[in-house]
A and B are shown apart, each in its own frame.
Chain A
Amino acid sequence: ILNVEQSPQSLHVQEGDSTNFTCSFPSSNFYALHWYRWETAKSPKALFVMTLNGDEKKKGRISATLNTKEGYSYLYIKGSQPEDSATYLCALRDDMRFGAGTRLTVKP
């Protein structure tokens, strides 16, 4: 993998569903991986900064894991709510490459 890739590109879930997205990245020269949440008409806001292989971070219903050896990170949202609707971005901090994002829509 040469670039940061995110999947799926978009996701539509019902309120209460749990969901997860993937961020894949080149595993060489790893510094840190950032997850951001970007709501429409607002600026991206940081969710997590992950630096160590095996890192697990949690903030409320949202959590993330990191595997630097195989080059991927997962973001999980438990019990999705309509206010979780946003684009979720991951970024490699060494050269600031962002993935294209996963656009999540949570239907009431």
Chain B
Amino acid sequence: KAGVTQTPRYLIKTRGQQVTLSCSPISGHRSVSWYQQTPGQGLQFLFEYFSETQRNKGNFPGRFSGRQFSNSRSEMNVSTLELGDSALYLCASSFNRYTEAFFGQGTRLTVV
């Protein structure tokens, strides 16, 4: 079966702009989580969606938002980009909390 698909894979944006990243989960998976990884940092949890509802939210400013559609696809939006937002953004999907999560290849965002 198809894995988790993230688009785009690479993105370069200018400070102050906004960006939307997309994540298509594995068919049948209703949970989608988003993570940020910056150099020297581990995976920082952004948010988790389950059946179109945000179930958990990490400690990120309100510039970071997300949503999930009825087909479980999820988008993450970052407004007013800052240089520090440059990172690898990963999404992961799972059937529920007790099953393993499958990660996408990530979107590498560079803010200049």
Contact = CB atoms under 8 A, between A and B. Distances in A.
B100 A49 contact: yes
Given A43-B104, A95-B56, A96-B48, A89 B98 contact: no
B59 to A, nearest CB: 10
A31 B97 CA distance: 8
Contacts of A43: 90, 103-106
A46 B42 contact: no
Contacts of B43: 44, 89, 91, 98
A51 interface: yes
Given A32-B97, A49-B100, A51-B98, A97 B105 contact: no
Interface residues of B, number: 22
Interface in A37-66: 43-46, 49, 51
A96 B97 CA distance: 9
Contact of A99 (B42, B58, B92): B42
Contact of A96 (B33, B42, B104): B33
B35 interface: yes
Contacts of B64: none
Top 7 A-B residue pairs of the complex, sorted by shortest distance between their CB atoms: A46-B100, A100-B42, A43-B103, A98-B43, A96-B45, A93-B97, A44-B103
14 contacts: A31-B98, A32-B97, A34-B101, A43-B104, A43-B105, A44-B90, A44-B92, A44-B103, A89-B42, A91-B43, A94-B97, A96-B45, A98-B44, A98-B45
